[in-house]
Amino acid sequence: MLVSVSLLTYIIVFSLIGGVLSLSLAALLLANKRITKKFTRYGLPFAAGALLAAVFLDLLPEGVEHAESETLFVTTLIGIVIFFLAERGIRWFHHHHQHGKGDPGVPLLIIGDTIHNTLDGIAIAAAFLVSIPTGIVTTIAVAAHEIPQEVGEFGALLGKGVSRGKVLLVNIISSLAATGAAVLTYFIGQESDLPMGVIFGLSAGFLLYVAMSDIIPSLHEQRNKKRLFDNQPFLLITGALVVALATIIAHSWEV
């Protein structure tokens, strides 16, 4: 019972780190437009590297130890498809209502952010269900992509005329979806004895989709067109190395 309570505490604390605390840092960064621009430019490639490293150096290797490789990779594919369908649905509703009455841009931004936070919470809790070090590493990767994303979310809502106070309140509530989803995933996993290979595969699929379909394409759009290589490749590799080092250190804690 002590282990279960301790594990739940880890899940709550680190899901808050991945959500609310990342949001708080984003709010501080947004207060200075120059810093925000630089952080977005430098933070996105770092986040991409961190997410890719978390998937291939921690989540998938851990998943292989808890399930047959076929199950793990099939559920990773399913995770990618689920995230694709979720994003496609949001984009479809956005396009559909843009041609109708009213501007649903603000609600759709909030809904989309909440869905992403929910999936982040599931990924964090799933990682902790296997081991605390894996959960910590996954949280680092999630936070790395959440901070630039929240900066963009803040900017988009402010651009639509929403006050700073309301933007902060709405995003705090949305970020709590990560903690709620993480706690729910914990209790479902405890009660149902969910197969860890399935959970790890889905989590890997979610994070892989975010890195490959969302962040990396935006890096190509933001690249310095006058130079073959700018600082983006270096920052992406740095993000991967940081998570790789964190993985080694975190797993060295295991007895």
What is the chain's pLDDT, residue by residue, as a tens digit (255 residues)?
A: 444 457 888 899 888 876 776 677 666 766 666 666 666 677 778 878 888 888 898 888 878 877 777 788 898 999 889 878 877 776 666 555 554 444 545 676 677 678 778 878 888 888 888 778 888 888 888 777 777 667 667 766 766 677 777 877 887 888 888 899 999 888 877 655 666 677 778 878 888 887 888 778 878 777 666 666 678 888 899 988 988 888 888 767 654
CB-based burial label for 158 (10 Å; 0-12, 13-18, 19+): middle
| Residue pair 15/182 in contact by the 8 Å Cβ criterion | yes
**Distance, CA of 202 to CA of 209 (rounded, Å):** 11
**Distance, CA of 189 to CA of 229 (rounded, Å):** 45
**Verdict on whether the full-model pTM lies above 0.75:** no
The two structure tokens encoding residue 51: 């997410």
Largest pairwise CA distance in the chain: 60
| CA proximity to 186, closest of 10, 18, 65 | 10
Residue 37: count of CB within 10 angstroms of its CB: 13
| Amino acid type, 136 | I
**Distance, CA of 148 to CA of 160 (rounded, Å):** 19
